[in-house]
Amino acid sequence: MALLIALVGAFTLVAPASAAEDTGVHVAARQTEVVTPSNTGPDLNPQQEPDLSIKAETKNKLWIGAIAVLLFVFVYWRNKRRYTKWRKGKKA
């Protein structure tokens, strides 16, 4: 506990008494960047019907995902069969 108090005391800054009596105004922050207003608002003529066509890139991703799921199912099924066979051999 004493070590903790010593560390806190070492890192604490003590201000002199004259600093507490100082009545001067100090500005701590100032504006560094001027924000210019822009006239860009919401689109007044939005697209009425969304594009429902599937892009070629999306089709490729769907095919790759389907192949990955199919491979996972095959590996899971194979491992399940091997585990069942191993358990039967271990019991016998």
The predicted model scores a pTM of 0.41
Per-residue pLDDT of 14-33, as tens digits, reads: 555 555 555 666 666 766 77
Q: Tell me what pLDDT residue 61 has.
A: 94
Q: Where are the domains of the chain?
A: 55-92
Per-residue pLDDT of 21-67, as tens digits, reads: 556 666 667 667 777 777 777 777 877 776 767 788 889 999 999 99
Q: How does DSSP assign 19-43, residue by residue? A: HHT------------PPPP------
Q: Which amino acid is at 23?
A: T
How far is 88 from 69, CA to CA, in rounded Å? 29
How far is 67 from 61, CA to CA, in rounded Å? 10
**Residue 53 DSSP code:** P
**Residue 50 DSSP code:** -
